[in-house]
Structure 1
Amino acid sequence: MDTFSKSDPVVVLFVQGSGSSEWKEFGRTEVIDNTLNPDFVRKFVLDYYFEEKQNLRFDVYNVDSKSCSILKQKDFLGQAFVALGEVIGSQRGRLERALTGVPGKRCGTILLLAEELSNCRDIVTMQLCANKLDKKDFFGKSDPFLVFYRSNEDGTFTICHKTEVVKNTLNPVWQPFTIPVRALCNGDYDRYGDRGSRGARAGCEHLFVGLAPRWQAAQNWVLIGFFFPLFCNPNYIKASPLLSRAPTVTQIS
């Protein structure tokens, strides 16, 4: 939809109440710049009622301006309809649907993943740093950031967090952040250790000099290493070479 670049997609989730024909907006993902294959961090938490048919609609739009909350029809990229029970009942909780709604055009597909959430109310606060990273920019150092992938029950990985970009350094120190343990391992403190997870990926921008940063686009990332954070289980804390201090776990009442 963009003239001189790729799309900046966002997904809007609509829900339809039982016995109602009205669609209500439930939430939106973040916008990911300049990509045709977005991998969204934002997750939606829905209550599932086995005895009811809960219809969902996923509308995909290209966003011209992040400051504008109104989505325009001209920026519509496609939509998919599905019942929540279909996603939960699909093999490994993964359901792929074709996007439709743009006449005469193939709109691509959307992949939906569902997992039953545990009752874990813990949150984890951590701060990370790195030393002597690889130099990737032509006329500077690197602009590194971290991308976290959580291990799923089926052994696949799903993106769950991104840090900020630290500009022009090979020894970045990222800001402390807090994240629910459910987002990292769904309350299973041994999930990473049992499955030999790759943990988080570390990457940096791969940009031409003079262009504005578009680090959100995965195809612009240059991988500079893996590490094994294993944050959740205290027995594995020392396994992370990037931790600047030990994470703290707090329970929310």
Structure 2
Amino acid sequence: MSTNILKISPRNPKLGWASNYNRYWFGGCPLKSNWMNALSTTFPHAERFFIETVKHYQAQITDPVLAEQVKGFIGQEAAHRMEHDRFNQLLKSEGYPVEKMEARVAKLFDWVRKNPDPEVKLALTCALEHFTTILCTEVLKTPTFHEPMQKEYKRLWCWHCLEEIEHKTVAYDVYQSINGSYRTRLVEVIHASAGLWLILISTMMAYQRHDGRLFNLRDWWVLITWGFIWPGLLTRLIPNYFRYYKKSYHPSHMHDQGLIDKWREKLGFNVEVQD
């Protein structure tokens, strides 16, 4: 049974950034911008995979609350896929090797699809959803991680982050509903961790190479400092990352209703919670 009573609704984020592209849109920093660009490059294929793995079990769900949340999850992820595809088109228009890097992402997910066990594929989705949840929570919670963004892109990322936090329990609740095993969950979080880092780092480096800044030591120092020292985005993720390895883990253990309400209001969305 779903442990989450939050209503999950797809939205039109009303983004107006398509004609106003700024290459270094994250505070004028090349590597921070390319780090986020690399994340965006993964999303269209990743979101498609998430939808597939959850939909596979949709007809088996008997809990009416979870059934409605699955519909909302699918709608939100489809919207994320569409908007990040639009963003990636902007990167392509600037000459970034997006198609090449997207092809690598697609190849990775196609390899996973060859596994005949749908439980394994859903477990991979649960792991990747955990990663996005903890990242998005830090982005919204800490002004340093969103205020420097150019206004139009800030709305894209904050909208996406809000909805990731809203539907953080859905894939996991579906996994529990099919009695997914703890062992499979552990194996797939390790696979997801390795695969995601490989894709993100290689894509970020490809984009830095396009900018002629691959060997710019100052860029790398700024990113390393920002990610691991101060304010330390990636360092802050470590405690919540390892929560996933606990047998008792559930996404609802991270209490963030106040953060959800705050960002719904900031982005102009109504606060909707089921009774």
**TM-score, shorter chain, exceeding 0.5:** no
The answer to which structure has the higher strand fraction is 1
The answer to which structure has the higher helix fraction is 2
Larger relative contact order (CA 8 Å, sep ≥ 6): 2
